[in-house]
Amino acid sequence: MRSASHFILVLGLALTWNAQAAEVQFGRTASPAEIRLWNIDVLPDGTGLPEGRGSVAEGKKLFDDNCMACHGPGGEGGFKDRLVGGTGSLASEHPIKTVGSYWPYATTLYDYIHRAMPYQAPGSLSSSNYYALAAYLLNRNGILPDDATLDRHSLPKVKMPNRDGFVPEPEFRHISNSRQHR
């Protein structure tokens, strides 16, 4: 008798708690405009790149003002990651993984610096500033000429030296083509 009444009591408490939990609602559904503000990912094929335009020359000034303190002059090394050099070192005993030697897609460079840099204020620069920084770093790695300018159309066309060092492109296309929310 005691276990039956205990079971009924526990069942009653569980049902009461469940009914109360169903009534409690936290937050609200994000609006499409709010989702667009956070949906800033850029895919290797350029899907997600914003409008804007930046040159190597503009990128040098931006780098000197915002990046050199951590990454050193010209991105050749500071107390944070080295961004320049390392070409041909990946198969050696001491690989140097930089933007130019390791990264497979130039669009990944844009995506990363847009999300995470400058360190003290990520995302605080304009889209054009991020294109300029990407142009400068690609130039410093010998991938773009001194007079290059990048935008949403030209950036995905940049062929990175290590593009074939990762997942084969046909597999990636399957993934990127499945995105329907853009």
> Residue 138: CB partners within 8 Å, gap ≥ 6?
99, 100, 106, 109, 144, 148, 150, 158
Give the residue, 172 or 101, on which the prediction is more confident: 101
Q: Are 111 and 123 in contact (CB under 8 A)?
A: no
Under the banding of pLDDT at 50, 70 and 90, the label for residue 169 is: low
Q: Which CATH class is domain 30-177?
A: mainly alpha
Under the banding of pLDDT at 50, 70 and 90, the label for residue 180 is: very low
Domain boundaries, the chain: 30-177
Q: Count how many Cα atoms sit within 13 Å of the Cα of residue 130 in the half-sphere of its side chain.
A: 26
Under the banding of pLDDT at 50, 70 and 90, the label for residue 165 is: confident
Q: Can you tell me the distance from the alpha carbon of 37 to that of 151, in angstroms, rounded to the nearest whole number?
A: 20
pLDDT of residue 130: 98
Q: At what angle do helices 56-66 and 127-140 cross, to 10 degrees?
A: 100
pLDDT of residue 166: 77
**Which two tokens mark 22?**
């169903």
**Which two tokens mark 21?**
């939990």
Across the chain, how many H-helices and E-strands are there?
Answer: 7, 2
